[in-house]
Amino acid sequence: MSAEPSSGVAIVTGAVRGIGRAVCLELARAGYRVVANYRGDDELAQSLVSEIAQEGGHAVALRADVTVADDVAGLIEGTLSTFGRLDVLVNNAGITRDTLLMRMSETDWDAVLTTNLKGAFLCSKAAIRPMMRQRSGSIINLTSVVGLVGNAGQTNYAAAKAGLVGFTKSLAKEVGSRGITVNAVAPGFIETRLTDVLPDELKGTIQTQIPLGRMGRPEDVAGVVAFLASPAARYITGAVISVDGGLFMAT
């Protein structure tokens, strides 16, 4: 990895908690000026900005719902007017609405596909304009191992996350000639609000199946995102990197 701190600008969507928060902190430590996107919790957003400032970094919090095109346009405009450029987009915002397909409502299907897949489409589309002008940039999509191997009770989530893999590879082919890389990170089970809701018994069972013997921490994912954003990853595009403690090894 480059020893030089970056002077780049990074947007992280859904940034105020969990993996997004860890990614913001990691990118700020690497020297990026960070735009922490959030959709509602002003207090958490401000606490993240303060934490980054206390560590000597630079960040602003910008409110936007990634499913709303006008909000996303505002997010990109706000970034450019604040910092003048855009180097990294981390499509992290995501939700789950788990249940078996037989019981899944159309609302739950639409909510998960709209946030996890359309959100990444809207943000990437808006972000590649300034990146193309700069002829450089990096987009990193948070998919999931569930999008690679499937999971009962998560047909909506798995479809969205698998969709993100196809999206990542296709966009990588579209914009590679403009110096823009597009990659995906596929976490396994990471300790955040998303996995807090799992029954303890299930968490115990999962843990015994993970070769590294523990669930992941948000920082475990953030390090890989920061690597993909860094100059050290300049020749990587269209890749999907699993960060799952070895739980799902490719055959």
What are the residues binding ligand NDP (CB under 6 A)?
A: 13-14, 16-20, 37, 39-41, 65-67, 92-95, 115, 119, 142, 144, 187, 189-190, 192-195
In the complex with ligand NDP, the residue whose CB is nearer, 9 or 140, is: 140
Contact 178/132 with Cβ under 8 angstroms?
yes
Query: Which of 190, 228, 100, 86 has the alpha carbon at shortest distance from 152?
Result: 100
In the complex with ligand NDP, the residue whose CB is nearer, 219 or 234, is: 219
Q: How far is the CB of 18 from ligand NDP (least distance, A)?
A: 2
Q: How far is the CB of 40 from ligand NDP (least distance, A)?
A: 4
Question: Is 157 marked active-site?
Answer: yes
User: Among residues 32, 38, 157, 235, which one is catalytic?
Assistant: 157
In the complex with ligand NDP, the residue whose CB is nearer, 7 or 105, is: 105
Residues with Cβ < 8 Å from 151, sequence gap 6 or more?
A: 157, 158
Q: How far is the CB of 49 from ligand NDP (least distance, A)?
A: 14
Could you give the C-alpha distances from 33 to 10, 102, 196, 199, 216, in angstroms and in order? 6, 45, 30, 38, 26
Q: How far is the CB of 133 from ligand NDP (least distance, A)?
A: 25
Helix axis angle, 42-54 relative to 18-29, nearest 10°? 30
> Is beta strand 9-12 parallel, antiparallel or unpaired with respect to 240-243?
unpaired
Contact 239/210 with Cβ under 8 angstroms?
no
Residue 104 CB neighbour total at 10 angstroms: 17
Which residues are known catalytic residues? 157
